[in-house]
Structure 1
Amino acid sequence: MSVVTPAPAASADPPAESSPPPRGRPWRGHLAVALTALALAVYVTNGLWRDPYRHGLSDNIGDQAFFEWLLGYGVYTLGHGSDPFFSDLLNVPWGVNLAANTSISVYTVLFAPLTHFAGPQISYVTILTLNLAGSAFAWYLFMRRWLVRSPLAAGLGGMFCGFAPGFISHANGHLNWTAGWVAPVVIWQVLRLRQPGRWLRNGLILGVMLAGCFTIAAEGLFYTALASGIFIVTWALAGPVRAEAKAAAGTVLRALGVTAVVAGALLAYPLYMHFAGPQTFSGTGFNQRYFAEDVAAYLSFPSRSLAALFGLGSTLAPNRTEESSFFGVPLILLMVVSAVLVWRRAVPVRRATLRAILVVGGVFLVLSWGPRVNWMDDELPIPLPYAALAHLPLFDSALPLRLALVVVGVFGILLALITQELVDRRLSPNLQTAVTAAIVAALLPIFPLPVRHQERAPEPDFIANGTWQRYVSDNGVISALPFALNVTADGQRWQAYTMARGGPQFRIPDGYFLGPMINGEAGRKEIGRIGAPPGPTDWLFTRAALYGYVAQLSNADREQARLDFAYWNVEVLFLPEQITGSDHMTLFRDAVETTATDLLGPPEKVDDVLVWRIRPGVDPIER
């Protein structure tokens, strides 16, 4: 199923990896692309590298804290033999279903030594950087093997896929979505399933690969599987390759059977936890009609691009982390022209492959628009195909706009193919010049800017030095103020750093995660929401932190606080000298202190925090 051919009339894909060896030394091209990709990834993430312990992603500091928590939990899991797919350390007393979140279990285990010795902050920025560089390099290798002969063509296509606007946008927090290498690696193995006599080996490899990738980027793996299925069916139905596809069908089906058995066995428990385990839920807690791609976004420029420096950035995304397309008009026009030019010069078997690629792009383009057409921030009463899929399993847990990331791969392939045409000088001189200029004009405006960062509160000595252990029983419950949420994530970070160091551990109420709308046991499927359902007492502190609002408390409020603290079994609350909000948000620390003092009385000064003891049987003060 490749468009690389030793001769123009060759078959679509050799039965084994037997492409003619490239001239010269291919490792030089590989090394050049790898170093370029790594340099660009470091450039994009340099704000974090300059001070990993104090700098956070200002556009999504909550997700960074969540993934740092997962990395710390990986060390805790290995040290305590705990369940990698469920934790009772957050959301006391119910816990969190990590399988229904993005558990990145493979990463947490592989990077556990680095996390333990250097901290989750270092592991986080390391993985983020390697994800971006690795995605570009993996796409380069894939295109070089299956699509184009020229290292330049493969390198340009790979760089685009690794550093496209959508993936730069997701570099604001998401270690799952920046793992764009999952797609080319999985697709590579899918294309090898047709090798005669190797169905058992290839099926085993793909099964293990799917199990590993599931724990890193389950939603991305779902999109990759869907795109692979659409591609294979479309390609196999094409007349020029129909006989070839029929001959390979038996081998492919046997390999897929092995894949299903292996992946099913390895994923039996995480899949059970994901769909039926305690604290599972339906949906994601995000509105699919809101998190859908605006049609005009495809024609716009992203907020972290050269174009944005000149005032051409757009605000059509729900937030800066979800700018999944934002290719700009020049690139869209280039892709249309490239598809036409490559199609006209392709022999029938190559057209079968190109048709399948374009069908994949078209399907995911339309699906990314969500259930209704959105144009320039207005939802129009025009239903789209996703409306029929939105309530189906898997689709109900997806965000439509992220489907545009598959279009990135299609555009990267088209970019590599048209560049190969230029390298081969198959275009007329005038057209050669025009296409070259068009590539520059299309890619230059979307060249990425580094992700934005901000200062975040340092870990208090009270936590770092282990002083907290004198105030909390073994495995007891403690909470920073305000309680941990996506926009007030400090408390979750302190727990992450404590887990990474090993030794005694505390639990916390609330936290930033995806969970059910109403806490409950397994078997009761609730709608998903972000974080724990808020209670009256934690909302007092959240409201004070976000808005500076100091409530006039009554004895009824204090009685409610007593009940809430008993529900969480909280033993200690503490307030650091600094608290951090997202997107340079100013949090009102003084309002939090005033609220806590009014509710609980004067605090103790311990190290660099204020401490309020909540002992069993001792009620909040009454006034």
Structure 2
Amino acid sequence: MSVAAPAPAASADPPSDPAVSPPRSRRWRAHLTLVVLALGLAVYVTSGLWRDPYRQVLSDNVGDQAWFEWLLGYGVYMLSHGADPYFTHLMNAPVGVNLAANTSITVYTVVFAPLTYLAGPQVTFVTILTLNLAVSAVAWYMFFLRWLAVRPFAAGLAGLFCGFAPGFVAHANGHLNWSAGWVAPFVLWRVMKLREEGRWLRNGLLLGLSLAIGFSIAPEGLFYVAIASAVFIGVWSLARPVRDEAKAAFRTVVKALGVAATIAGALLAYPLYMHFAGPQTFSGTGFNQRFFVEDLAAYLSFPSRSIAALLGLGTELGPNRTEETSFFGVPLILFMIVAFRILWTRAEPGRRATLRAVGVTGLVFLVFSWGPRLNWMDAELPLPLPYAALAHLPLFDSALPLRFALALVGVFGILLALLLDQLPRFPRNQKIALSASLALSLTLIFPLPVRVQQRSAEPAFIANGTWQQYVTDNGVLTALPFALNVHADGQRWQAYTMARGGAQFRIPDGYFLGPMKHGVQGRKEMGQIGAPPRATDWLFTRAALYGYVPRLTNADREQARADLAYWGVEAIFLADEITGSDHKILFREAVLTTAIQLFGQPERVDDVLLWRIRPGVDPVSR
């Protein structure tokens, strides 16, 4: 999600020792070492899930893990049933969910479908999460090695920093899209190749394919890459030392971009239509853009999962632990300011053009991450910022401002790679001071493994297929409480049945993004988290989260009958164990008491309590 320098001679310093190229065997040893380190760190960060992927869940983001496990299960169902990859009726019955308007990670769901079928979405989820972190570090390493022409050590340390920066470790709490930090260097590599003379067709084709892949995994991240590329190229091209070089490459780049747009447009025509104009689309998101902003002080703070936090230096300035998108700490921020100054004073004019473009790009994303109003120490100040003018524009209205801070990871990675490459030539005292400062800065933000907690196992009622005796094929079945991000059991249990590729049931509700209202023609509704709540599902959410059980009346039962008829529910079940988020205990007895008041006494089937529902009949009267 950042940019790096193109590699022409006029715009970049030469390699540190251009006369000596390391032997091929030494280069491969460097590559292999980096891969092993990256994979080891990734397994370390996700180790809590690996210990028991079936019973452990990310405690800081139960809902998003359930969502991505659901998508992985849907990938098997999609391939085995020929289902639409961008719209489904299996969730949010009876109206369905627009998957294109959510994060559908289509490439992942298809590529990893065999693993999902054999081992379940739980194993596939932690596998992808681990590979995302490791491959991100490797991708940045290769990007720095090739386009900055730095030593392997400099590229390797900078790559590891980018792959395991605080913001991406935070997003490892459930986000298979945002933890895919490799998308940025993967796409940027193709962008920087556009200027090659005589290869505009090939490079345009490959960029178009890269854009299609990137969109299918992290569309919001791809949007940031596009902005970063435009800012960087625009600023770099206007610099006097490289202006003629930029003019010479202009026609080649334009032709390549035309090819890329054609290829990407053809591959993404349907998902883009579904995203912007398909059924169940919406405007904005279910998240407040004034809340999900980066606090200025957060850049100077340390993340909750870091060595600094163990020393009592962590803070809670993020909206949640998944969105700690900066949190570099004072030492690293100061180090990067000094690094930029040192690189600037030592750079040739062509390299200064690159540094200027990198600096401006970083500054733009820094300001964007602050959102519409400046925040300091958890307080919003009456100071409007440029993002206020962008917040209602298409695409910007669906972005969360604080995530723009992730682009600073790439900017810092570039500065780090360049400085480390030149460090051996610095005076001894300066070399020692910079090395010690960097070691302190990186040690303080060294990641801790993501937090996990126990989750309820899949009931035998679901695992053994007993549910099929009580629900017609593609009928509606719901667990209690109804699936939502803070109690997502019903959604992930449905995911496990989809992963088996056989008969399937639908569920009401679910954790997804959708419009606030259904059935409105001619205009888009604002987005929100989940389905528009009805009285009955809210009763169970309130009981599960707060233990609140009101004395229900016949009017409540009449409303329940109407709600069940709307959803088309055929059966309802309550498992012996239900899971909340962030180590919160759900009040199962309150859920049971509420259900008995509404539906009458249940029957015991396998390891669940079951209520059979006949459409149009008040269940409690049976």
TM-score interval, normalised by the smaller of the two chains: over 0.9
Letter in 2 for 1:65: A
Give the SS at the match of 1:478: strand
Corresponding position of 2:319: 318
Task: Render the CA deviation track for 1:9-60: whole Å, top value 9, x for unaligned.
Answer: x32279xxxx988312311111000110000000000000000000000000
Q: Is the 8 A contact 2:461 2:467 kept in 1?
A: yes
Instruction: Give how far 1:241 is off.
Output: 0.3
Task: Render the CA deviation track for 1:165-213: whole Å, top value 9, x for unaligned.
Answer: 0000000000000000000010010000000110001001110110111
Corresponding position of 2:174: 173
Matched, 1:552 2:551: yes
Give the SS at the match of 2:218: helix
Matched, 1:528 2:504: no
Corresponding position of 1:47: 48
Letter in 1 for 2:332: L
Corresponding position of 2:391: 390
Q: Distance in 1 between matches of 2:161 and 2:481?
A: 41
Q: Distance in 1 between matches of 2:185 and 2:328?
A: 21
Matched, 1:606 2:580: no
Q: Is the 8 A contact 2:140 2:185 kept in 1?
A: yes
Corresponding position of 1:273: 274
Corresponding position of 2:87: 86
**Correspondence list, 1:503-514, <5 A:** 503-514=502-513
Q: Is the 8 A contact 2:358 2:411 kept in 1?
A: yes
Q: Distance in 2 between matches of 1:2 and 1:453?
A: 36
Q: Is the 8 A contact 1:276 1:522 kept in 2?
A: no
Residues 20, 281 of structure 1: CA spacing in aligned structure 2 closer, same or farther, 3 A cutoff? farther
Task: Render the CA deviation track for 1:481-510: whole Å, top value 9, x for unaligned.
Answer: 000000010000010000000110000000
Q: Distance in 1 between matches of 2:6 and 2:485?
A: 47
Q: Distance in 1 between matches of 2:129 and 2:422?
A: 34
**Correspondence list, 1:534-613, <5 A:** 534-613=533-612
Instruction: Give how far 1:618 is off.
Output: 2.3
Q: Percent identity?
A: 71
Q: Distance in 1 between matches of 2:5 and 2:201?
A: 26
Corresponding position of 1:437: 436
Corresponding position of 1:161: 162
Residues 500, 553 of structure 1: CA spacing in aligned structure 2 closer, same or farther, 3 A cutoff? same
Q: Distance in 2 between matches of 1:511 and 1:177?
A: 21
Give the SS at the match of 1:197: coil
Q: Distance in 2 between matches of 1:21 and 1:558?
A: 81
Task: Render the CA deviation track for 1:76-131: whole Å, top value 9, x for unaligned.
Answer: 00001110000000000110000000000000000000000100000000000000
Structure 2 residues without counterparts, runs of 5 or longer? none
Q: Distance in 2 between matches of 1:383 and 1:123?
A: 44
Q: Is the 8 A contact 1:49 1:125 kept in 2?
A: yes
**Correspondence list, 1:350-499, <5 A:** 350-422=351-423, 425-499=424-498
Q: Distance in 2 between matches of 1:135 and 1:243?
A: 34
**Correspondence list, 1:274-289, <5 A:** 274-289=275-290
Give the SS at the match of 2:114: helix
Q: Is the 8 A contact 2:12 2:354 kept in 1?
A: no
Instruction: Give how far 1:2 is off.
Output: 6.8
Q: What TM-score results when the alignment is normalised by the length of structure 2?
A: 0.97
Structure 1 residues without counterparts, runs of 5 or longer? none
Instruction: Give how far 1:524 is off.
Output: 3.0
Letter in 2 for 1:336: I
Q: Distance in 1 between matches of 2:19 and 2:163?
A: 27
Instruction: Give how far 1:621 is off.
Output: 2.1
Report the aligned-residue RMSD.
Answer: 1.4
Corresponding position of 1:105: 106
Give the SS at the match of 1:282: coil
Instruction: Give how far 1:231 is off.
Output: 0.4
Instruction: Give how far 1:310 is off.
Output: 1.1
Instruction: Give how far 1:521 is off.
Output: 6.0
Task: Render the CA deviation track for 1:278-323: whole Å, top value 9, x for unaligned.
Answer: 0000111100010000000000000000000011101000000000
Instruction: Give how far 1:147 is off.
Output: 1.0
Matched, 1:291 2:312: no
Letter in 1 for 2:316: T
Q: Distance in 1 between matches of 2:7 and 2:568?
A: 67
Instruction: Give how far 1:149 is off.
Output: 2.2
Q: What TM-score results when the alignment is normalised by the length of structure 1?
A: 0.97
Corresponding position of 2:193: 192
Instruction: Give how far 1:421 is off.
Output: 1.4
Residues 114, 192 of structure 1: CA spacing in aligned structure 2 closer, same or farther, 3 A cutoff? same
Corresponding position of 2:65: 64
Q: Distance in 2 between matches of 1:5 and 1:220?
A: 24
Q: Distance in 2 between matches of 1:522 and 1:190?
A: 40
**Correspondence list, 1:85-234, <5 A:** 85-234=86-235
Task: Render the CA deviation track for 1:558-590: whole Å, top value 9, x for unaligned.
Answer: 000010000000000000000000000110001
Q: Is the 8 A contact 1:4 1:149 kept in 2?
A: no
